[in-house]
């Protein structure tokens, strides 16, 4: 069974960050967002992937090439999600295919449940449903009426799960939601409710929530190829990858992730659901909390970052502070705090104080 993976959106909820980096190529715990989708589908038995991309498709290719899968990228020609689905279906010869969104972070068991439900029920289509309680207007919603699904625009707390097994339509296809409604009305569709971890990446707070969710599932793993000072303190729930360097008296208080070739300077504190991704550098006397520092970013000495995202290759000067409270413009209010969204390659001058919720 082939999969169409959608990764062609503009990432509007993460602008201006996504002007330079495709949303699905953002890394969390050393792995691109799209690779969580593809790796999960691979473990469920999917072997071939058609990935719908935009003009930043080379970023997606670079990430997917890290996985041992057969894939092809297709530059989206038609408008919107429905257009992307049509572009993908042109490459599908099978009667049934998987349609998945490349911006969902969910355990691999989710995709196994999708495939198992399809095999066991014998229905032509399977749709996972996810209970949501916040930001419901940002999801595709459904209701269950007489044990059948009905797509709705409001008044529901069940969201479409972002990965579906569907029969290839024989007639003209114009709308994914209408197609799901049609399959439900013809009793060709089954569903299951997924109540475990599930994050749809659309806004800065979703990235931080995905980071927290993933780190909760991890146990401590310290690479024997890492260079850790005997005076450093490594707490519980900490992952340290190959060739990372942690200097004298630095404290890594888990849950936290230190990626390959990352650097944490002397007397710095990295704590509470933070990730220092591959090749990123944290200067001396810094404090990083509830933050995602993307690959090859640099944070100057004596800086304090909390509930913030620092883009790939950005340079944060010394003594920079990100305020995180009160956060007043959360689209999905998962936290009562939100610091800065700092775009890739941005330079923040020394001594800057960045107000809560700023997007730079």
Q: Verify that 156 and 280 share a domain, yes or no.
A: no
Other Cβ atoms closer than 10 A to 126? 26
Would you state the pLDDT for residue 329? 60
> Is residue 250 located within the same domain as residue 275?
yes
Quick check: 20 pLDDT over 80?
yes
pLDDT tens by residue, 193-223: 999 999 999 999 999 999 999 999 788 999 9
Evaluate if residue 149 carries a pLDDT over 90.
no
Q: Are residues 167 and 293 in the same domain?
A: no
Q: Are residues 211 and 162 part of one domain?
A: no
DSSP letter for each residue of 81-123? HHHHHHHHHTT--SSEEEEEETTEE--HHHHHHHHHHHHHH--
Same domain, 166 and 299: no
CA gap 251, 354 in Å, rounded: 25
Specify the DSSP class assigned to residue 355.
P
pLDDT of residue 354: 95
Same-domain status, 175 and 265? no
Q: Could you tell me the residue range of the domain that residue 170 belongs to?
A: 3-200
Q: Quick check: 131 and 35 in contact, CB under 8 A? A: no
- pTM for the complete prediction? 0.92
Of 200, 223, 244, the residue at which a domain comes to its end is 200
Q: What CATH number is associated with residue 81?
A: 3.90.550.10
Judgement on whether residues 117 and 77 belong to the same structural domain of the protein: yes
How far from 156 is each of 58, 133, 204, CA to CA, in Å?
A: 38, 9, 24
- Rounded average pLDDT over 42-61: 93
Looking at residue 133, its pLDDT comes to 77
| Domain shared by 30 and 136, yes or no | yes
**Which of the listed residues 165, 200, 235 is the one where a domain comes to its end?**
200
Q: What is the pLDDT of residue 333?
A: 67
**Which ranges of the chain would DSSP assign to H, the alpha helix?**
33-43, 57-64, 80-89, 108-121, 176-185, 204-216
CATH number at residue 240: 2.160.10.10
Going across the sheet that includes 309-310, the strands are: 221-222, 238-240, 256-258, 274-276, 292-293, 309-310, 341-342
Clarify whether residues 164 and 283 are in a common domain. Answer: no
Residues 113 and 252 in one domain: no
- Domain count of the fold of the chain: 2
pLDDT at 279: 98
The Cα–Cα gap between 247 and 249 comes to 7
Specify whether 153 is located in the same domain as 264: no
Note whether 43 and 144 are same-domain residues.
yes
Domain termination site, one of 154, 180, 200:
200
Sorting pLDDT into bands at 50, 70 and 90, what band is 73? Answer: very high
């Amino acid at each position: 069974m082939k999969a169409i993976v959608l990764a062609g959106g503009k990432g509007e909820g993460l602008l201006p960050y996504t002007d330079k980096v495709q949303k699905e190529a953002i890394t969390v715990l050393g792995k691109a967002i799209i690779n969580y989708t593809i790796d999960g589908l691979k473990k469920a038995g999917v072997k071939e992937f058609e990935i719908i991309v935009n003009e930043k498709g080379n970023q997606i290719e670079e990430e997917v090439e890290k996985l041992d899968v057969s894939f092809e990228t297709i530059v989206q020609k038609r408008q919107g999600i429905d257009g992307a689905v049509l572009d993908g279906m042109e490459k599908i010869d099978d009667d049934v295919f998987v349609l998945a969104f490349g911006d969902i972070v969910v355990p691999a068991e989710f995709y196994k449940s999708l495939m198992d439900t399809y095999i066991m029920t014998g229905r032509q289509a399977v749709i996972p449903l996810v209970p949501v309680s916040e930001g419901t207007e940002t999801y595709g919603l459904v209701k269950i009426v007489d044990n059948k699904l009905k797509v709705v625009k409001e008044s529901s707390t069940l969201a479409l799960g972002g990965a579906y097994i569907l029969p290839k339509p024989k007639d003209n296809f114009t709308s994914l939601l209408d197609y799901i409604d049609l399959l439900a009305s013809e009793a060709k569709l089954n569903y299951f409710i997924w109540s475990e971890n599930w994050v749809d990446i659309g806004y800065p707070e979703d990235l931080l929530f995905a980071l927290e969710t993933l780190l909760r599932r991890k146990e401590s793993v310290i690479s024997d190829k890492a260079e850790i000072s005997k005076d450093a303190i490594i707490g519980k729930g900490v992952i340290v990858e190959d060739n990372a360097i942690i200097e004298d008296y630095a404290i890594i208080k888990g849950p936290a992730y230190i990626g390959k070739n990352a650097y944490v300077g002397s007397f710095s504190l990295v704590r509470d659901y933070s990730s220092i991704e591959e090749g990123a550098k944290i200067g001396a006397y810094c404090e990083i909390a509830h933050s995602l520092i993307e690959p090859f970013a640099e944070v100057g000495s004596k800086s304090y970052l909390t509930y913030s995202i620092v883009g790939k290759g950005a340079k944060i000067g010394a003594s920079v502070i990100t305020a995180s409270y009160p956060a007043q413009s959360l689209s999905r209010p998962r936290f009562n705090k939100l610091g800065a969204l700092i775009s890739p390659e941005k330079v923040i001058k020394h001594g800057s104080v960045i107000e809560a919720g700023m997007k730079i």
